[in-house]
Homo-oligomer: A and B are copies of this chain.
């Protein structure tokens, strides 16, 4: 007997969300709306998108279990952290790993991949 998977924002290439066994898996979020912006604005967009998807999934940003951050330029980490630190909720900060990686659009400076607990 298999547990059901709920997929949300289902596209032909990927889904934005998969929910399974009380856990929420998101697609990597990228700054689609502000691809020309600096790291602070791109980070704000991406974390806002994570927050919106978590809400769509019935979770929220106090429930993140693991977060991977990919930066085009690792030297952006300080400016990214300023936005991150203001976004995370005290007492509910998630395990995180941040590494450098070039992204699909050369203008994107950040991609964020999140796994979270159902709310």
Contact = CB atoms under 8 A, between A and B. Distances in A.
Contact of A98 (B5, B16, B21, B104): B104
Contact of A85 (B13, B81, B88, B92): B13
**How many protomers of this protein does the assembly include?**
3
Interface of A: 2-3, 5, 7, 10-18, 20-23, 25-28, 63-68, 70, 74, 77, 81, 84-85, 88, 90-104, 111, 113, 115, 117-119
A64 B96 CA distance: 17
Nearest to A95: B27
B96 A66 contact: no
18 contacts: A2-B118, A2-B119, A5-B92, A5-B117, A7-B92, A7-B93, A12-B85, A12-B90, A14-B96, A18-B64, A18-B94, A20-B117, A28-B98, A74-B102, A77-B104, A97-B113, A99-B103, A99-B104
